Structure 1
Amino acid sequence: MSAESLQESFAAIHAASRRHIVVDWATRQHRLQQLLLLLKEQQHAITAAIAEDFGQRNPIETSVLELIPSTQAIQHALKHGKKWMRKRPVKTSWLFLPASNHVLPQPKGVIGIVVPWNYPLFLTIGPLVDALVAGNRAMIKLSEHAPVFAALMARIIPLYFQDDEVNMVTGGAEVAAAFCALPFDHLLFTGSTAIGKHVMQAAAPNLTPVTLELGGKSPVLIHDVRHLQQAVARIMYGKMVNAGQTCIAPDYLLIHHTLLDDFVAAAQAWFAKTYPKWEQNSDFTHIINTQQNQRLQAYLDEAQIQGARIMALAPAKEGLIAPSLVIDAPNHCALMQEEIFGPILPIVTTASLDDSIHYINARPRPLACYVFSQDSAVQERCLQEIVAGGMCINEVLLHVVQDGLPFGGIGPSGMGAYHGKTGFDSLSHLKAVLVQKRFNTMGLMGPPYGVVIRSLLKILKP
Structure 2
Amino acid sequence: MNMPIQAQTALPLSQILINQRAHYLADPSPAYEARIEHLKSLKKAILSHQEELINALNEDYGNRSVDDSMISDIMPCINNINYSIKHLKKWMKPSRRHAGLLLAPASIKVQYQPLGVVGIIVPWNFPVMLSVGPLITALAAGNRAMIKLSEFTPETNKILIAMLASIFDQNHVTCIEGEADIAAEFSSLPFDHLLFTGSTTVGRHVMRSAAQNLTPVTLELGGKSPVIVADDIDMDTAVERMIYGKCLNAGQICVAPDYVLVPKEKLNDFVQAYKRKFTKMYGQVSNNKDYGSIINQRQFERVMQVLEDAKAKGASVMSANDEAINIEHQKVPTQIITGATDDMLLLQDEIFGPLLPVIPYDNLQEAISYINQRPRPLALYLMSFDKNTQQTVMNHTHSGGVCINETVFHVAADDAPFGGVGPSGMGHYHGKEGFLTFSHAKTILKRGKYFNTGKLIHPPYGGWLQNQLMKFFLR
Relative to the length of structure 1, the TM-score reads 0.98
C-alpha distance in structure 1 between counterparts of 2:162 and 2:178, whole Å? 14
Residue 376 of structure 2: which of 350, 359, 365 is its match? 365
Q: In the alignment, what sits opposite 2:339?
A: 328
CA-to-aligned-CA distance 1:295-336 (integer Å, 9 cap, x gap): 111111111111111011232212323421100111121100
C-alpha distance in structure 1 between counterparts of 2:11 and 2:51, whole Å? 34
Is the 8 Å Cα contact of residues 9 and 176 (structure 2) preserved in structure 1?
no
1:119 is paired with a residue of what secondary structure? coil
C-alpha distance in structure 2 between counterparts of 1:279 and 1:145, whole Å? 22
C-alpha distance in structure 1 between counterparts of 2:266 and 2:111, whole Å? 54
CA-to-aligned-CA distance 1:3-56 (integer Å, 9 cap, x gap): 953233222212111111121101111111111011111000000000100100
Q: In the alignment, what sits opposite 1:399?
A: 410
Is the 8 Å Cα contact of residues 223 and 349 (structure 2) preserved in structure 1?
yes
C-alpha distance in structure 2 between counterparts of 1:304 and 1:103, whole Å? 58
Deviates more, 1:219-228 or 1:192-201: 219-228
Q: In structure 2, do the counterparts of structure 1 residues 206 and 228 end up closer, same or farther at CA, with 3 Å as the change threshold?
A: same
Amino acid corresponding to residue 466 of structure 2 in structure 1: I
C-alpha distance in structure 2 between counterparts of 1:272 and 1:444, whole Å? 78
1:113 is paired with a residue of what secondary structure? strand
What is the CA-CA distance between 1:2 and the residue it aligns to?
A: 6.7
Q: In the alignment, what sits opposite 1:308?
A: 315
Is the 8 Å Cα contact of residues 233 and 383 (structure 2) preserved in structure 1?
no
CA-to-aligned-CA distance 1:316-375 (integer Å, 9 cap, x gap): 212323421100111121100010000111011000000000000100000000011111
> Do residues 318 (structure 1) and 315 (structure 2) align?
no
What is the CA-CA distance between 1:399 and the residue it aligns to?
A: 0.8
C-alpha distance in structure 1 between counterparts of 2:19 and 2:309, whole Å? 50
1:387 is paired with a residue of what secondary structure? coil
After superposition, residues 65-144 of structure 1 pair within 5 angstroms as 65-144=72-151
C-alpha distance in structure 2 between counterparts of 1:51 and 1:3, whole Å? 28
Q: In the alignment, what sits opposite 1:377?
A: 388
Is the 8 Å Cα contact of residues 224 and 374 (structure 1) preserved in structure 2?
no
What is the CA-CA distance between 1:162 and the residue it aligns to?
A: 1.4
Amino acid corresponding to residue 440 of structure 2 in structure 1: H
> Do residues 444 (structure 1) and 456 (structure 2) align?
yes
What is the CA-CA distance between 1:156 and the residue it aligns to?
A: 2.3
Is the 8 Å Cα contact of residues 111 and 443 (structure 2) preserved in structure 1?
yes
2:353 is paired with a residue of what secondary structure? coil
After superposition, residues 263-278 of structure 1 pair within 5 angstroms as 263-278=270-285
What is the CA-CA distance between 1:447 and the residue it aligns to?
A: 2.6
1:339 is paired with a residue of what secondary structure? coil
1:89 is paired with a residue of what secondary structure? strand
What is the CA-CA distance between 1:411 and the residue it aligns to?
A: 0.9
Deviates more, 1:313-322 or 1:234-243: 313-322
CA-to-aligned-CA distance 1:50-107 (integer Å, 9 cap, x gap): 0100100121211111111110000111000111011100112112111111110000
Amino acid corresponding to residue 456 of structure 1 in structure 2: L
2:168 is paired with a residue of what secondary structure? coil
C-alpha distance in structure 1 between counterparts of 2:21 and 2:206, whole Å? 20
Is the 8 Å Cα contact of residues 232 and 385 (structure 2) preserved in structure 1?
no
> Do residues 457 (structure 1) and 464 (structure 2) align?
no
1:280 is paired with a residue of what secondary structure? coil
What is the CA-CA distance between 1:154 and the residue it aligns to?
A: 1.6
Q: In the alignment, what sits opposite 1:21?
A: 28
Q: In the alignment, what sits opposite 1:338?
A: 349
C-alpha distance in structure 2 between counterparts of 1:432 and 1:379, whole Å? 40
Deviates more, 1:314-323 or 1:298-307: 314-323
Deviates more, 1:442-451 or 1:129-138: 442-451
What is the CA-CA distance between 1:234 and the residue it aligns to?
A: 2.1
Q: In structure 2, do the counterparts of structure 1 residues 28 and 2 end up closer, same or farther at CA, with 3 Å as the change threshold?
A: closer
Segments of structure 2 that go 5 or more residues without pairing to the other structure are 1-7
1:269 is paired with a residue of what secondary structure? helix
Q: In the alignment, what sits opposite 2:4?
A: none
Q: In the alignment, what sits opposite 1:175?
A: 182
Amino acid corresponding to residue 369 of structure 2 in structure 1: H
Amino acid corresponding to residue 131 of structure 1 in structure 2: A
CA-to-aligned-CA distance 1:141-187 (integer Å, 9 cap, x gap): 00001111112212221111111111011111111111111111000
Is the 8 Å Cα contact of residues 285 and 333 (structure 2) preserved in structure 1?
no
CA-to-aligned-CA distance 1:248-292 (integer Å, 9 cap, x gap): 000000111011111111100001101112221111010000111
Segments of structure 1 that go 5 or more residues without pairing to the other structure are none
Relative to the length of structure 2, the TM-score reads 0.95
C-alpha distance in structure 1 between counterparts of 2:220 and 2:71, whole Å? 21
> What CA RMSD, in Å, does the superposition of the two structures yield over aligned residues?
1.3
What is the CA-CA distance between 1:209 and the residue it aligns to?
A: 0.6
Amino acid corresponding to residue 410 of structure 1 in structure 2: V
What is the CA-CA distance between 1:228 and the residue it aligns to?
A: 2.5
Q: In the alignment, what sits opposite 2:65?
A: 58
> Do residues 156 (structure 1) and 168 (structure 2) align?
no
C-alpha distance in structure 2 between counterparts of 1:226 and 1:253, whole Å? 14
Amino acid corresponding to residue 100 of structure 2 in structure 1: S
Is the 8 Å Cα contact of residues 187 and 208 (structure 1) preserved in structure 2?
yes
Deviates more, 1:60-69 or 1:40-49: 60-69
C-alpha distance in structure 1 between counterparts of 2:150 and 2:267, whole Å? 39
